[in-house]
């Protein structure tokens, strides 16, 4: 198969900084769409993959799975988009499309393993997939999304991961008008959870360890802020919430939050992978039919639903735009939570370098 050599930003090793490199993209096949990447969001998963925090990173690694750009070429059988359209690519670029999960538009739970936008397996070239820190990307049309024309392109990019990661549980647990939703943690995921839950008509509360983020949460649409370190405030919301979206990305005690769930309420973890400490107390769960669950990104249909919803309600992420050359500094700032609330790379800085 023909390939094209393009500019990208990636890393050759876990302890090496990201720098400019060249990668090969496959040429457009009959079902493919080629996208000139205009903006790419920066996700914590990018950093973890670059530094092999989760193990299994294939080097050289080019991160980036919050991609927005313009269609530059299409295959002969493509009908979804045309040249010149704005398009987006999220965390998935392929799946088996045959298992029970894929048949239900749940490609993120593909029983045979989905193909990630980066660090997956490029089915035509046999190499690893390379992400959005690059000039262009070539993706099967099934996994390409349409971008509503009224949305700011740069601020749309984080919807492809941070947005759908919180949208998916909101939809699965049927949040709507009258629902009582709480969000734990106000970062890239948390601020989207507030905006989307509010857009769906829910009453939204932020749990925060300190009062520092209270005004930010209210400005984003939260109806209330509860300081989780204040016992009296926590007691005041005991048994209140139908759904809690926990976005905290590190080990933390979820037991205090479980007690604030209503009967049949659910706390869903979307930010942390690993064992819980201290142990989960099942007593309030059993006595109140409460659940602790997990959720990851969303399928293609669900992601398109999110983009369409955001277009209708004019919802985008709060972002700070950076140049591609500033990515290593951005990673260090992310580790310090020094971003409100998502970095987005202006990819013109790579093309013009």
Tell me, yes or no, whether 43 lies in a domain. yes
Q: Does the N-terminal peptide bond of residue 45 adopt cis geometry, omega within 30 degrees of 0?
A: no
pLDDT of residue 142: 98
Q: Where are the alpha helices (DSSP H) in 64-202?
A: 100-103, 153-156, 162-172, 188-199
Interval 40-49: pLDDT, tens: 999 999 999 9
Spatial CA neighbour of 108 closest among 188, 57, 172, 38:
172
Contact (CB, 8 A) for 65 and 135 = no
Tell me, yes or no, whether 299 lies in a domain. no
Interval 334-351: pLDDT, tens: 999 999 999 999 999 998
22 and 111 share a domain?
yes
pLDDT of residue 353: 78
Tell me, yes or no, whether 155 lies in a domain. yes
Confidence of residue 293 (pLDDT cuts 50, 70, 90): very high
Tell me, yes or no, whether 310 lies in a domain. no
For tokens 């759908």, the residue is 164
According to DSSP, the residues that pair with 10 across neighbouring strands are: 19
Interval 159-181: pLDDT, tens: 999 999 999 999 999 999 999 99
Number of domains in the chain: 2
Q: What is the mean pLDDT of residues 116-137?
A: 97
For tokens 């991609």, the residue is 67
Distance CA 250, CA 10 (A): 25
Q: Where are the alpha helices (DSSP H) in 98-213?
A: 100-103, 153-156, 162-172, 188-199
Q: What percent of the chain has pLDDT over 70?
A: 100
13 and 157 share a domain?
yes
Instruction: Look up the domain containing 114 and give its range.
Output: 3-161+318-351
331 and 196 share a domain?
no
Spatial CA neighbour of 32 closest among 123, 124, 140:
140
Query: Is the confidence at residue 10, as pLDDT, over 90?
Result: yes
Tell me, yes or no, whether 309 lies in a domain. no
pLDDT of residue 352: 82
89 and 199 share a domain?
no
Q: List the structure tokens of 318.
A: 């709060």
């Amino acid at each position: 198969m023909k390939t094209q050599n393009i500019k990208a930003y990636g890393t050759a090793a876990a302890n090496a900084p990201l720098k400019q490199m060249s990668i090969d993209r496959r040429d457009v096949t009959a079902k493919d769409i080629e996208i000139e990447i205009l903006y790419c969001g920066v996700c914590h998963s990018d950093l973890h993959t670059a530094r092999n925090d989760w193990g299994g990173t294939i080097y050289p690694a080019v991160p980036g799975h919050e991609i927005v750009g313009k269609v530059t070429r299409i295959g002969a059988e493509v009908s979804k988009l045309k040249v010149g359209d704005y398009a987006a690519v999220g965390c998935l670029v392929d799946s088996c499309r045959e298992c029970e999960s894929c048949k239900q538009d749940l490609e993120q739970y593909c029983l045979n393993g989905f193909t990630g936008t980066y660090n997956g397996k490029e089915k035509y070239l046999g190499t690893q997939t390379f992400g959005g820190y690059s000039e262009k990307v070539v993706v099967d049309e099934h996994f390409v999304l349409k971008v509503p024309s009224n949305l700011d392109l740069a601020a749309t990019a984080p919807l492809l991961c941070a947005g759908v990661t919180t949208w998916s549980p909101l939809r699965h647990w049927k949040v709507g008008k009258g629902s009582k939703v709480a969000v734990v943690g106000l970062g890239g995921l948390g601020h989207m959870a507030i905006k989307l839950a509010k857009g769906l008509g829910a009453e939204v509360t932020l749990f925060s360890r300190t009062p520092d983020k209270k005004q930010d949460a209210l400005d984003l649409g939260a109806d209330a802020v509860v300081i989780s370190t204040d016992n009296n405030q926590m007691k005041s919301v005991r048994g209140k919430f139908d759904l809690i979206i926990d976005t905290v990305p590190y080990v933390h005690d979820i037991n205090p939050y479980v007690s604030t769930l209503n009967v049949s309420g659910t706390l869903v973890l979307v930010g942390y992978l690993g064992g819980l400490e201290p142990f989960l107390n099942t007593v309030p769960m059993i006595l109140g039919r409460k659940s602790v669950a997990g959720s990851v990104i969303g399928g293609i249909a669900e992601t398109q639903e999110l983009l369409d919803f955001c277009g209708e309600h004019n919802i985008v992420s709060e972002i700070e735009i950076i140049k591609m050359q500033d990515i290593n500094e951005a990673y260090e700032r992310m580790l310090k939570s020094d971003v409100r609330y998502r970095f987005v790379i202006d990819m013109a800085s790579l093309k013009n370098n």
